[in-house]
A and B are shown apart, each in its own frame.
Chain A
Amino acid sequence: MKTLKFTFALLLCAILFSCSSNDDDNIAEDLSGQKGQLILKFDNGIGDQDFIFGTNYSKSNNESYKVDNLKYIISNIRIKDSQGNLVMYPEQDNAFIIDEAEANNAGEILLTLNNIDAADYTEITFGIGIDQERFALGANGQGNFLELAESKGMLWSWAAGYKFIRIDGTFSNDSVTDEPLNIHMGSVGSSLDNYREVTLSFTNTARIRQHTSPEVHIKSDISKVFDGITTINFADGYDQVHVDAVETPIVANNISGMFIVHHVHND
């Protein structure tokens, strides 16, 4: 009986010992000079449904819409590490078009940021559209992005500038069926400033290291374009949004509320 108790006590010790966390092995790693990748996964959805071209989605005011073209511009991406340092991705490479047509078979559009200082990152900030500063660089100052935007139909003309978001499709409501829907929102040259920025905290730390590329899964709720901060109705003229000084800022504000970081994968 004594031996038995002793054996049990020993086993219990072994368990407690093996399960105690080794706090003392958290010696700060030396990350100096290490560079790594960060992958942003943009995943478009409508509420809790994955976005699919041609699907009829209902919105407020008894209206519905189908989309066959969905693109938006992301720029000025910067990330903050656990020490509070901000890392801005190099400016000349820091504008991207998120095009649903380029999504992988899981419906995700991957954006890879290379050569980032190894650190533990906790937050991301990015702009939707192109800011006035970049636009002021002129057509020649846009680098390859101008050509890309043009080929993707995300530019009106150099003078009118970029379309920050482009949604093409059809809509239906109580009075009409499958009428054209075109949301083309931008800053319209420099007459309006519809560039918006969002800052999103990571659900868990993105640990960028030489050989590990964390993935930040960003969910973009496209329904927020219509039912966002402000609810907009097709019946009120929001079926065709182009350069209007009243309509475009409302759409811009709605879009700034459509992103959340769903989770971060460290691999």
Chain B
Amino acid sequence: MMNVLQNFRKITVLLLISITQAQFLSAHEKNRACNNHYKHTFFCDLCGCSTSSGSFGFGTLSNANFVGVRYLYQNFESKNGIFENSPISKEVFRTYQLWAQIPVIKTFYLSANVPYHDLSRTFNGITENISGLGDSSLIGWYKLIFYKKQNEETLNFDVKKEASGHSIQFGLGLKLPTGEFEERLADNINPGFQVGTGSTDGILSFGYNYGGNTLGVNTLFSYYLKGENKNEYQFGNQFSYTTNLYTALSTKKMNIMPFLGVSGDIYSSIKQYGETLNDTDGSIINASLGSEFAVEDFIFGASYTLPVNQNLFGHDVKSKQRISVYINYAL
């Protein structure tokens, strides 16, 4: 009999909790930014605001909202010829980016990205330059936050639903051809030497975040369905992944959040006039090291990325390094 009663009580408690949970959802949301309890408050804490699109992620280690600017510096080397000892051209890609994550409702937010590219390549002592507005992207995200199971023994009705630190998000978006695609450049060994692809691409994303008291993990998988541009040139579909492991060190004035990351891209072959072009598929795996510094509502971030393993365009293109610096203002 006691057992039956106890079970009944448990069920009632659970029911009550479920009901109260609904009410506390929104109230809890704001504090959830990360599960870390810092001395001072900021919404875009270490979970937030790192890295960008593609294997860079779309901007946030977790789901902090912000507006910001980012500078990316990337180096590539491309072989100009079909032989092992063909001469190399060197490419420098500089990107200035406006990026933001804007909340719409508590479970839905938008991330937007407007880049300006300044690309240069040097071959045989001659430097070519192209610059201009790049391809912008807009992604809508649906976020699902997981909460801790209530401790049945304590029966503490005052406790708000406690976030477990785990959350997942689904993203659907578009990459728009706001950058100009120049066909004469498509004949270059590095077909990425473009400010835009000229195509409208679909973006599908899935993310998982965990923010614990000392450690956090942020993982994002994205798939790009590439469209064909008006020159009947179609970049290969792309699968990107990135995961960052971070921690937090607090001082009175700021929080320092170093992170280690692994990211990568897998590309399908480029198609032109409906035909697959040889040696235009490939993959790259990168390792990153960086940190964010949060001071009041501002987040300063920097990271350095090195390729660990790559096979791009039949080994004709080599990524050398990537440097990222950004300043975000938490919303």
Which residue numbers of A lie inside 8 Å of B, CB to CB? 4, 7-8, 11-12, 14-16, 18-19, 21, 26, 43, 45, 48-50, 105-107, 203-205, 207, 215, 217, 219, 262-263, 265-267
Contact = CB atoms under 8 A, between A and B. Distances in A.
Interface in B78-106: 80-87, 105
A50 B184 contact: no
B23 interface: no
Given A50-B81, A50-B83, A217-B82, A4 B186 contact: no
Contacts of B200: 18-19
11 contacts: A8-B142, A11-B173, A19-B226, A19-B227, A43-B81, A43-B83, A48-B83, A50-B83, A107-B86, A204-B272, A204-B273
Contacts of B227: 18-19
A23 B237 CA distance: 19
Contacts of B82: 43, 45, 217, 219, 262-263
A205 B184 contact: no
A204 B274 CA distance: 10
Interface in B13-69: none
Size bracket of the B interface:
35 or more
Contact of A106 (B80, B172, B174, B184): B80
A19 B274 CA distance: 14
Interface stretch (B158-166, B275-283, B301-309, B322-330): B275-283
Contacts of B173: 11
B184 A267 contact: yes
B140 A11 contact: yes
9 tightest A-B CB contacts, nearest first: A15-B202, A50-B83, A204-B275, A11-B172, A19-B225, A48-B84, A18-B200, A262-B82, A19-B202
A7 B171 CA distance: 12
A11 B225 CA distance: 14
A215 B174 CA distance: 34
B201 A19 contact: yes
Nearest to A23: B274
Contact of B105 (A4, A21, A215, A263): A4
A207 B108 contact: no
Contact of A263 (B124, B170, B277): B277
Contacts of B274: 26
B317 to A, nearest CB: 15
A264 to B, nearest CB: 9
A104 B110 CA distance: 51
Given A14-B174, A204-B278, 15 more contacts: A8-B142, A12-B172, A15-B204, A18-B200, A19-B200, A45-B82, A49-B83, A105-B124, A107-B86, A203-B277, A204-B276, A262-B82, A266-B273, A267-B183, A267-B184
Interface of B: 80-87, 105, 107-108, 124, 140, 142, 170, 172-174, 183-184, 186-187, 200-204, 225-228, 272-279
Contacts of A45: 82-83
B140 A8 contact: yes
Most buried by A among B82, B85, B105: B82
Given A14-B174, A263-B277, A106 B81 contact: yes
Contacts of A49: 83-85
Contacts of A204: 272-273, 275-278
A267 B200 CA distance: 21
Nearest to A22: B228
Contacts of B226: 19
Nearest to B202: A15
A59 B270 CA distance: 37
Contacts of A19: 200-202, 225-227
Contact of B278 (A4, A16, A107, A263): A263
B184 A7 contact: no
A8 B170 CA distance: 10
A141 B60 CA distance: 75
A238 B279 CA distance: 37
Nearest to B176: A18
Contacts of B276: 204
Contact of A50 (B85, B170, B273): B85
Contacts of B174: 14-15, 18
Contacts of B204: 15
A15 B183 contact: no
A265 B275 CA distance: 12
A115 to B, nearest CB: 23
Contacts of A12: 172
